Structure 1
Amino acid sequence: MTIPYAEVIGDPIAHSKSPLIHGFWLDRLGLAGSYSKTHVLAADLPDFLARRRADPDWRGCNVTLPHKQAVIALLDRLDPLAARIGAVNTIVPEDGALVGYNTDAAGFLEPLAGPLAERHLLRTARIFGTGGAARAIAHGLAGQGFAIILIGRDTAAASALAAELDTETHVAPLDHFAEALEFDWGESGDRLDLVVNATSLGMTGKPPLPVHLSHLPPGAIVYDAVYAPLETPLLAEARAAGHPVVDGLAMLIGQARLAFRHFFGTEAPADAGADDALRLILTR
């Protein structure tokens, strides 16, 4: 007897925590199904998708680096949000067609549901990075009414992304944020400020993100997409300074929750007990 299965593909792929997440949810719900990781080289993508397309037990795959853009040409259609972002992280077979989705944007927003449900006179996000994660985050926040400051070493890439966004945008060089800022922010007032690290800086083996905390508005939520380590230097400094923080596991779990629905046709467990147990597994 065969069971439905999904997987995550990438190069490299050994580091992926996605099988732990989906496997935990499958066990928790008592569903027949499996989720694994598969090493796929760029040259093998066409053959891989052709084989999976013909497999009736295959429910789809998540896509990680470096394939999020390369798979687009091999799909039959894209969800509108994935088309706007220009990257796919979830592929699902639907009525014989392969459809590309991007769950990164919604996954990023999931842990911000509380603040986003409130009304604000002004919403501003400072996003560090111009790669695939930054693209998804910027498009997601633009849809939530944020004015966005895109920050990166490559200001040309930041400007190109800014031109795609239907919101107020600004571009700034990364090195500007390394030095102390002489500025009186005053009271936070009726506003929502986010500071987001969408780069690999702060990841294990990488230098920290070079941002001086004087650049953070009072009460700004500091959100780091890096999850190894879970407490990056940016989050440790921000937490010590009294800022609310969101770690990278929140986005990882959020985007996986949406993909799980696509793959297995049901909602992943969302109760506090399940989330706590899952985080314990992911941080062992």
Structure 2
Amino acid sequence: MSARPTLTGRTMLAGVIGWPVAHSRSPLLHNFWLARHGIDGAYVPLPVRPGQFETAVRGLQAAGFRGANVTIPHKEAAFAIADTLHRSALRSGSVNTLVFAADGRIEAHSTDGDGFVANLEAHGIDVARGPVLLLGAGGAARAIAASLLDRGVPVAVANRTRGRAEALAGMLDGITVMDWARWEDSLPAYAALVNTTSLGMHGGPDDLFAPSLARAPDGMAVCDIVYVPRMTPLLRAARARGLPTVDGLGMLLHQARLGFREWFGVDPVVDAELQALLDADLAG
């Protein structure tokens, strides 16, 4: 990897807006790509308090930033401020990437769903091979469901509060709703299981979440968007059954590619060196 270039008056700028934002790994991975490609650019954390989002975005745009990623609690505000909502944002109902166009428009994208699919494909998982069962009905579930449905993949959703799953099904045609109490018994009907909740995450509501996979069919892919820890209890249970597993770190990396490409003009690669860098940081 090349050394970081000296920043100049032509430095291209982007960042991640959130509150808080110090925990974000986005600056680490984007600045890694900038250094790798020798780009005169910088990607910075941008802590913006609730209620100040539009002021901050207009200021960044006026200061010449190329765009920004958006994280909690500003995703709804990002949806509202956009001049152009790309299909990914409309389908997922959320925004995580803003691009400041040369003509002054703010373009909004959601890259989570396509980042998830790209991560599966990088692990050799063919999403078209059969129906997918999603656990959870939040924003991540909607983005992932939209990307799967757009590829013709049948999707079922199970959520601890059934009403939220039904609301998601009302937003996206083609989703089947399943009772939370029944999803373990329904596993034989699915080619993949995806946990989109914070269950199993360090510090989450249940960091020991490890349901029974006794009825999972041979070859069923088990995926978890949690990446702290990389190997969640759910994924350990799947490994014990000999099932293929996909953790959440790759989704984080792949969803970042579109923004980097739009802001800095290079389509970066997710490879072992980048994953090792993030692993070392997470372990620290």
TM-score, structure 1 normalization: 0.88
Deviation at 1:61, TM superposition (A): 0.6
Q: In the alignment, which of 67, 81, 87 is matched to residue 80 of structure 1? A: 87
Deviation at 1:163, TM superposition (A): 2.5
CA 106–201 in structure 1, closer or farther in 2 if over 3 Å, else same: same
Is 1:109 aligned to residue 117 of structure 2?
yes
Instruction: Map residues 243-254 of structure 1 onto 2, 5 A cutoff.
Output: 243-254=243-254
Q: In the alignment, which of 149, 154, 177 is matched to residue 147 of structure 1? A: 154
Is 1:278 aligned to residue 277 of structure 2?
yes
Structure 2 residue aligned with 1:31: 39
Deviation string, structure 1 residues 19-75 (Cα, Å, up to 9, x no partner):
11101111111111111111112211111111112122x011111112212221112
Deviation at 1:276, TM superposition (A): 4.5
Give the letter aligned to residue 66 of structure 1: P
Deviation at 1:103, TM superposition (A): 0.7
| Contact 1:107–1:258 (8 Å) recurs in 2 | no
Q: In the alignment, which of 92, 98, 113 is matched to residue 91 of structure 1? A: 98
Structure 1 residue aligned with 2:69: 62
TM-score, structure 2 normalization: 0.88
Deviation string, structure 1 residues 101-144 (Cα, Å, up to 9, x no partner):
01111100112224338x64xx1111011111111011011112
Percent identity (aligned): 40
Is 1:53 aligned to residue 61 of structure 2?
yes
Give the letter aligned to residue 202 of structure 2: T
| Contact 2:140–2:196 (8 Å) recurs in 1 | yes
Structure 2 residue aligned with 1:226: 226
Q: Aligned equivalents of 1:184 and 1:88: distance in 2?
A: 31
Deviation at 1:174, TM superposition (A): 2.4
Structure 1 residue aligned with 2:167: 160
Deviation at 1:240, TM superposition (A): 1.5
Q: Aligned equivalents of 2:272 and 2:94: distance in 1?
A: 33
Give the secondary-structure state (helix, strand or coil) at the position aligned to 2:200.
Answer: coil
Mark the runs of 5 or more structure 2 residues left unpaired by the alignment. 1-7
Q: Aligned equivalents of 1:278 and 1:144: distance in 2?
A: 32
| Contact 1:11–1:40 (8 Å) recurs in 2 | yes
Deviation string, structure 1 residues 218-276 (Cα, Å, up to 9, x no partner):
21111100011111111111111111111110100010122211221111134x45344
Number of positions where the alignment pairs a residue of Structure 1 with one of Structure 2: 270
Instruction: Map residues 248-267 of structure 1 onto 2, 5 A cutoff.
Output: 248-267=248-267
Tell which deviates more after alignment, 157-166 or 37-46.
157-166
Q: Aligned equivalents of 1:66 and 1:239: distance in 2?
A: 35
Give the letter aligned to residue 196 of structure 2: A
Give the secondary-structure state (helix, strand or coil) at the position aligned to 1:170.
Answer: strand
Q: Aligned equivalents of 1:128 and 1:232: distance in 2?
A: 15
CA 36–166 in structure 1, closer or farther in 2 if over 3 Å, else same: same
Is 1:170 aligned to residue 173 of structure 2?
no
Q: Aligned equivalents of 2:217 and 2:170: distance in 1?
A: 25
CA 184–91 in structure 1, closer or farther in 2 if over 3 Å, else same: closer
Give the letter aligned to residue 197 of structure 1: N
Structure 1 residue aligned with 2:3: none
Is 1:132 aligned to residue 139 of structure 2?
yes
TM-align CA RMSD: 2.1
Q: Aligned equivalents of 2:68 and 2:27: distance in 1?
A: 11
Q: Aligned equivalents of 1:128 and 1:215: distance in 2?
A: 16
Mark the runs of 5 or more structure 1 residues left unpaired by the alignment. none
Give the secondary-structure state (helix, strand or coil) at the position aligned to 1:42.
Answer: coil
Q: Aligned equivalents of 1:18 and 1:64: distance in 2?
A: 10
Structure 1 residue aligned with 2:198: 200
